[in-house]
Structure 1
Amino acid sequence: MLNVRLRNLSTGPDLRYAFNDVGYQEFVKTELISCIKLHQRLIRCVEAINNLLYFPIFYYSASAVLLALAIILGPKTSASALRYGFIVMGAFSLILVFCILGQLLENEFEKVFVCGCNTAWYLWNTDNRRFLCLFLCKTQKEMVLSSSGIVTINYQLLISLYRAIYPTLIFLLQVYGTI
């Protein structure tokens, strides 16, 4: 929605005379102010989501790793291994969903910045250019989902988990002779 509003600022009936058109300049000013307010609401929403995710992501990650180790090192009955396997897959699927959502959020905030840069700012008066500069300064701050403020939740987290868990898993399997 924010991207659409920013794209609409670059369109008009006759943009050749837009710089001297007071009505167009007022339209741009009100739209920029509403874009800034909408962006501030989005930032507050992301902060609220981060506060909600403070503990669950750490819990799911730690429980999945501990349960995976319990499967490898624990009793070799098929019923317990199957039960632990379903729990581990559930935890990893939740982590995957959170990482996909985190990456989508990062991509959308980047699109807002790019849309702001691609507006027809050269048709605007100096007040509107200042509003755009203010908006672009606010959109440069990267908005990400994070867990405990330590781990950024995106595709890089999946790659990091894979690089950490897979060699450890192979090592443990070789040590206990199951390969």
Structure 2
Amino acid sequence: MKSFNILLVVILLFMSCKEAKKETVVQEPEQKTEELASFGEKITKDNAKVTKEMASVYHNLAVADTVTTKFTGKVLDVCQSKGCWMKLDLGDGEQAMVKFKDYGFFMPKDITGKEVVVNGKAFIEQMSVDEQQHYAEDGGATKEEIAQITTPKKTYRFEADGVLLKE
């Protein structure tokens, strides 16, 4: 029995001295998720037109035509009074004036140069001199710049019911 106890101790020592099997943990690379702030109705960026596609849509509209759509654009200007409108770049010096449905929400005033996705209705409108001057004043234009606005102009407009802001 004594030899059995010694054998048992030797086996236990042998087993306890064995190196524990190490598990290799592979970490997945961190996926950078795009931060999007939402304003107005909840929308997604899925199926949003790019700027050139949206410019083409506007070129095919007549005054008073309306089309429901979604597009991505770069913010050129924002109302500095309360964020109640913004202008988006359509390329080739063209821009879309975006207002918000029923003044239900406003945008931050410091988003010039940022990307947004807007969802709503695109249309073309003849903008009066008074309205152009009002928007120029809201945008921080000088009195001299405002005085140079003297004729109505055809404008690309958009009434957004939801906006995503890429942070």
Give the TM-score of the pair, scaled to structure 1: 0.20
Q: Which has the larger share of helix?
A: 1
Normalised by the length of structure 2, the TM-score is 0.21
Structure 1 or 2: larger strand share? 2
Higher CA-based Rg: 2
Greater relative contact order (CA < 8 Å, ≥ 6 in sequence): 1
